[in-house]
Structure 1
Amino acid sequence: MLQQVLLAILRHLNHIKETIVVRVYVCVCQVRTEVQEVEVVAIPAPVERRPQV
Protein backbone atom coordinates (compact mmCIF):
# COMPACT_ATOMS: atom_id res chain seq x y z
CA MET A 1 0.00 0.00 0.00
CA LEU A 2 2.69 2.47 1.04
CA GLN A 3 4.78 1.53 -2.01
CA GLN A 4 1.89 2.36 -4.35
CA VAL A 5 1.44 5.74 -2.70
CA LEU A 6 5.16 6.51 -3.00
CA LEU A 7 5.14 5.47 -6.67
CA ALA A 8 2.15 7.71 -7.33
CA ILE A 9 3.89 10.64 -5.62
CA LEU A 10 7.09 10.01 -7.59
CA ARG A 11 5.17 9.91 -10.85
CA HIS A 12 3.42 13.14 -9.93
CA LEU A 13 6.75 14.81 -9.07
CA ASN A 14 8.27 13.54 -12.32
CA HIS A 15 5.38 15.06 -14.25
CA ILE A 16 5.80 18.39 -12.43
CA LYS A 17 9.55 18.30 -13.09
CA GLU A 18 8.98 17.67 -16.80
CA THR A 19 6.50 20.54 -17.14
CA ILE A 20 8.89 22.88 -15.28
CA VAL A 21 11.77 21.85 -17.55
CA VAL A 22 9.61 22.47 -20.61
CA ARG A 23 8.57 25.90 -19.32
CA VAL A 24 12.16 26.88 -18.50
CA TYR A 25 13.29 25.66 -21.94
CA VAL A 26 10.59 27.72 -23.66
CA CYS A 27 11.52 30.79 -21.60
CA VAL A 28 15.22 30.37 -22.43
CA CYS A 29 14.40 30.05 -26.13
CA GLN A 30 12.29 33.22 -26.03
CA VAL A 31 15.00 35.15 -24.17
CA ARG A 32 17.65 33.94 -26.64
CA THR A 33 15.70 35.14 -29.68
CA GLU A 34 15.07 38.50 -27.97
CA VAL A 35 18.76 38.84 -27.05
CA GLN A 36 19.83 37.97 -30.61
CA GLU A 37 17.50 40.65 -32.00
CA VAL A 38 18.89 43.20 -29.52
CA GLU A 39 22.49 42.23 -30.31
CA VAL A 40 21.92 42.64 -34.04
CA VAL A 41 20.69 46.19 -33.36
CA ALA A 42 23.28 47.10 -30.71
CA ILE A 43 26.55 45.64 -32.06
CA PRO A 44 27.21 47.81 -35.16
CA ALA A 45 27.35 51.15 -33.28
CA PRO A 46 30.14 50.38 -30.72
CA VAL A 47 32.30 48.72 -33.38
CA GLU A 48 32.33 51.90 -35.48
CA ARG A 49 33.16 54.11 -32.47
CA ARG A 50 36.06 51.92 -31.29
CA PRO A 51 39.37 53.83 -31.75
CA GLN A 52 41.77 52.26 -34.22
CA VAL A 53 45.06 51.10 -32.72
Structure 2
Amino acid sequence: MYRGTQGSAGLFRAVYGLAGRPCKRCGTPIVREKFMNRSSHFCPVCQRKR
Protein backbone atom coordinates (compact mmCIF):
# COMPACT_ATOMS: atom_id res chain seq x y z
CA MET A 1 0.00 0.00 0.00
CA TYR A 2 1.15 3.51 -0.78
CA ARG A 3 2.10 5.74 2.14
CA GLY A 4 2.00 9.53 1.95
CA THR A 5 4.73 11.82 3.21
CA GLN A 6 3.06 12.00 6.62
CA GLY A 7 2.79 8.20 6.85
CA SER A 8 -0.94 8.03 6.14
CA ALA A 9 -2.31 5.36 3.81
CA GLY A 10 -2.96 6.50 0.27
CA LEU A 11 -5.06 5.30 -2.65
CA PHE A 12 -2.30 5.27 -5.27
CA ARG A 13 -3.17 1.93 -6.84
CA ALA A 14 -6.84 1.89 -5.86
CA VAL A 15 -7.96 3.36 -9.20
CA TYR A 16 -5.10 2.58 -11.60
CA GLY A 17 -6.43 0.86 -14.72
CA LEU A 18 -10.07 1.40 -13.76
CA ALA A 19 -10.89 4.16 -16.28
CA GLY A 20 -14.65 4.43 -16.78
CA ARG A 21 -15.52 2.34 -13.74
CA PRO A 22 -17.19 3.98 -10.72
CA CYS A 23 -15.12 5.41 -7.87
CA LYS A 24 -15.38 3.26 -4.74
CA ARG A 25 -15.95 6.37 -2.63
CA CYS A 26 -18.46 8.48 -4.60
CA GLY A 27 -19.49 6.50 -7.70
CA THR A 28 -18.18 9.02 -10.26
CA PRO A 29 -16.47 7.37 -13.27
CA ILE A 30 -12.66 7.19 -13.00
CA VAL A 31 -10.84 9.39 -15.54
CA ARG A 32 -7.62 8.55 -17.39
CA GLU A 33 -5.38 11.40 -18.54
CA LYS A 34 -2.37 10.81 -20.78
CA PHE A 35 0.80 12.91 -20.65
CA MET A 36 4.39 12.32 -21.79
CA ASN A 37 3.87 8.62 -22.68
CA ARG A 38 2.37 7.95 -19.26
CA SER A 39 -1.13 8.03 -17.88
CA SER A 40 -2.81 8.94 -14.64
CA HIS A 41 -6.10 7.58 -13.29
CA PHE A 42 -8.14 9.54 -10.77
CA CYS A 43 -11.63 10.42 -9.57
CA PRO A 44 -12.43 13.99 -10.67
CA VAL A 45 -14.62 14.52 -7.58
CA CYS A 46 -12.54 12.98 -4.79
CA GLN A 47 -9.16 14.10 -6.13
CA ARG A 48 -9.48 17.64 -7.40
CA LYS A 49 -6.84 19.30 -9.56
CA ARG A 50 -4.65 21.95 -7.97
Q: TM-score, normalised by structure 2?
A: 0.21
The higher relative CO (CA closer than 8 Å, separation ≥ 6) is in 2
Structure in which a larger fraction of residues adopt helix: 1
Structure in which a larger fraction of residues adopt strand: 2
Whichever of the two has the greater Rg, that structure is 1
Q: TM-score, normalised by structure 1?
A: 0.20
